[in-house]
Structure 1
């Protein structure tokens, strides 16, 4: 399956309809008193839409990525105009100041942190605009928090939701490769310590409201850190030799897409499609690579019809579908490592 202009335009129209939609909104705010009560758009004048802060961030990542991939589509001009109106130094300064509140230490950690860095990385690909320059102070603020967080994170968080450590580090590592050698080293060191000796995974997946696979998200991260000669035997010992992927890793069923938590499962199909393709590409000529690609295609096909249609899913699912599409296109480029390669 490939990303066509028709699909890109559908995703773009959907994201344009929610990144500036203020309500409904699920706030992640620690209140210090009655005087601290304010509408989300005052605390977050950039990322006040899309139901919650982190979804708004990666909704913007979706829009900028689609603008880059399809600059001639009609929605590209609308994306640029809204970004100019939204990514102003004044509004970004308010977002940045929010982080200085002592109560904001855990704000959007680590999922929102990682997506903000990924958004900044994408903004840098738009040389005709200064969006990256405006976003950089905010990106630097989040990036500088990651080493300290890893210092106190004794154990990886392996749930399949926003707190998942591996997913956040995968996105953040791409940003660090370009911007922060200290963070890059911290991520690689921490990940090796957390996952390099793991083997024989037998976890009960999927969880009922997960949008990430705990084991595949860890494998995705390690595929970026380990050389192929290390990664292939590590993955064999983790999930291939015991048959976990072949036995357990099939597209999941979503019973109620109007329920925001249950709708997470469409995201699980999409994130698995992304992870499986990247892992297969890392394996190269390994006998399991074709099986992983086949499973990736099945997961993407199961979720793609449901990316839009209900707000509880469509305010975020296009981002994960786009990651899967980008991985599929990268698989056709020998030597490509990033799902967000140009």
Structure 2
């Protein structure tokens, strides 16, 4: 909902302004709940589905930046660091889970790429996911296999491929150009993007009713490969 509110704030037409005005009370209520809940959430939720804390914080951060809510932005930055800054040696071989549409590892890194400065993020990322530079992390960098697009859980993996693509594209855009991991992420993001976009129209409701929203986000964000090109 905050992503929708953020998008509408940028529309320069009468309908967009009217919709933004009408949606703002709901956005304000959600922000109030973030500010109430985050100080009480002792531990982050690291799942690969809906409740993933890093995903929620990333969108809350973007909304706060877009509307100038310094209180929300500072809270998100503080809690993100408290939750994730000390994380090291993430076991990338454990991913993906069988019904994931988020990568817990990449969602966390996508968030930290927002809240840390580039130099600090660079150091953090290599402590967090050293396996990519050392072994290539094939289970994390290869698109997930989707064996049945009519199964409501297995088709989540198409969403995983989409969200992995946007996370890797964003992470690569923050890493130094001479970082050896950067071209690996760009190549992997392109492979995930190609695989997933070819399958969002499967003819099955269980995927089609939500995958388009992931595809739109992937292809319209400033860091998308379409915008930046696929070369390192």
- TM-score, length basis structure 1: 0.61
SS in 2 for 1:157: coil
- 1:331 deviates by 2.8
* 2:6 corresponds to which of 103, 112, 121: 121
2:206 is the counterpart of 1:312: yes
Counterpart of 1:293? 186
2:89 maps to 1:192: no
Deviation digits for residues 257-309 of structure 1 (CA, Å, limit 9, x no counterpart): 11111110000000000000000010031221111000001111111121112
Cα deviation, 1:75-105, whole Å, max 9, x if unaligned, reads xxxxxxxxxxxxxxxxxxxxxxxxxxxxxxx
SS of the residue aligned with 1:154?
A: coil
Richer in helix (by share): 2
Gaps of 5+ in 1: 1-115, 333-342
Question: What RMSD in Å do the two structures reach over aligned CA positions?
Answer: 1.5
Larger Rg, first or second structure (1 or 2): 1
**Alignment-derived partner of residue 247 in structure 1:** 138
TM-aligned CA deviation for residue 248 of structure 1: 2.2
Q: TM-score, normalised by structure 2?
A: 0.89
- Cross-structure match for 1:109: none
1:299-341 per-position Cα deviation (integer Å, ceiling 9, x unaligned): 1111112111211111111111122223224435xxxxxxxxx
Gaps of 5+ in 2: none
Q: By how many angstroms is 1:126 displaced?
A: 1.8
Partner of 1:235: 125
Q: Within 2, Cα distance between the matches of 1:248 and 1:306? A: 20
What is the CA deviation profile of residues 175-204 of structure 1, one whole-angstrom value per residue up to 9, with x for unaligned ones?
A: 111332111111000000111111100151
Choose the corresponding residue for 1:202, options 91, 99, 111.
91
Distance 2:37 2:106 in 1: 22
Match for residue 102 of structure 2 among 202, 212, 236: 212
**1:323 aligned partner:** 217
Q: Distance in 2 between matches of 1:229 and 1:207?
A: 31
Q: Return the alpha-carbon distance in structure 2 between the equivalents of residues 217 and 209 of structure 1.
A: 16
Q: Deviations over 1:103-129 (max 9, x none)?
A: xxxxxxxxxxxxx00001111122212
